[in-house]
Amino acid sequence: MAKLEVRNSSKVFKKDGQTIYALQETNMQVEDKKFVSIIGPSGCGKSTLFNIIAGLLKPSTGHVLLDGHDIVGKSGYVGYMLQKDLLLPWRTILDNIILGLEVKGVSKKEGRKRALPMLQKYGLKGFENHYPNELSGGMRQRAALLRTLFYDKDVILLDEPFGALDAQTRLMMQTWLLKIWEDFKKTILFVTHDIDEAIYLSDEIYVMSHRPGRIKAKVTVNLPRPRNEQTLSHESFIQLKQDLLAMMKEEQIT
């Protein structure tokens, strides 16, 4: 059984008398502990799809199954991280990370005690009591990701988490993310418009088409793991990159 299944989900709404198809009927099956990316041009419904999976948006049709249970319209079942780090500026990094625990009813003191070792292990040592505005963009994304991980759900949605970072920081963060993924054994769904990033990170890539959004291809990457800088110059990496670029180019013509 798939860990996460999106079944016939679609989203249609009306605005100014026009019917807009944000997402056509979409089917996806994600296996446990896989790293799956979704790429597509902007406005292709990637974020709509994510909001549906996260339970923040009710689809017009269809269902979302997590371990076979319907979670459509219910939030809090999967971890979700958006492009903006969304750290609360009035909370320290440590207190930001325990936000999910607090919502669950765990005391601040207990949460801090649990979060501290993880924070220190994953590159935020010495920044526990800093406020977000004192950190660099990469550090803030780290904190945001750790907050999502610390919420401890099997499936994690990452919506262009590194989109706002510079190229060098991004590569560093990608490697860091892979390490974390291996350590925590989560199922990750990753939205990006960066083809290199998608190939470098993923087991599978779903390619979405321009509005009305739908999945038009599913690619299995098959590059050996663990991956590192050498992966980027691997023959099949370059081959796949060319294929995906061609697919994306078709989308831009419309």
Partner 1 sequence: MDRNDEHADLTYPKIEYIPKPDKKIKPEIEIEDETKKSRKTKRVALIGQIVLGIVFIALWEILTRMKVIDPYYWSSPSLIVQTGLQVLKEGSLYTDLLYTAGATILGFILGTIGGAILGLSFWWSSLYSRITEPYMVAFNAIPKLALAPVLVILFGIGFNSKVVLAFMMTIIVTALAAYSGVKAVDQDLEKLLYSLGAKRYHVFSKVVVPTSMPWIVSSLKINIALSLAGTIVGEFISAQHGIGRMILYAGQVMNINLVWVGVVVLSILSIVMYLGTLYLEKWLLKGH
Sheet containing 18-30: order of strands: 18-30, 4-15, 61-66, 69-70
Q: Which is nearer to partner 1, 6 or 54 (CB)?
A: 54
18-30 and 187-192 as β-strands: parallel, antiparallel, unpaired?
A: unpaired
Nearer CB in complex with partner 1: 91/216:
91
Instruction: Select from 127, 151, 200, 237 the one that contacts partner 1 (CB under 8 A).
Output: 151
Question: Counting contacts by CB under 8 A, is residue 114 touching partner 1?
Answer: no
106 binds partner 1 (CB under 8 A): no
The residue ranges of DSSP E strands in 40-90, in sequence order, are 61-66, 69-70, 79-81
55 close to 77: Cβ distance less than 8 angstroms: yes
Stretch that binds partner 1, among 90-98, 164-172, 184-192, 244-252 (CB under 8 A): 90-98
Contacts of 101 (CB under 8 A, 6+ apart): 110, 111, 114, 115, 150, 151
Pairwise CA distance, residues 4 & 53, whole Å: 9
Establish how many alpha carbons lie within 13 A of residue 120's alpha carbon, considering only the half-sphere containing its beta carbon: 8
207 binds partner 1 (CB under 8 A): no
Q: Which is nearer to partner 1, 132 or 195 (CB)?
A: 132
Q: Does 56 bind partner 1 (CB under 8 A)?
A: yes
Q: Of the candidates 131, 172, 196, 251, which one interacts with partner 1 according to CB under 8 A?
A: 131
Where do contacts with partner 1 occur on this chain (CB under 8 A)? 54-56, 75-76, 78-80, 82, 84, 86, 88-92, 99-100, 102-104, 131, 151
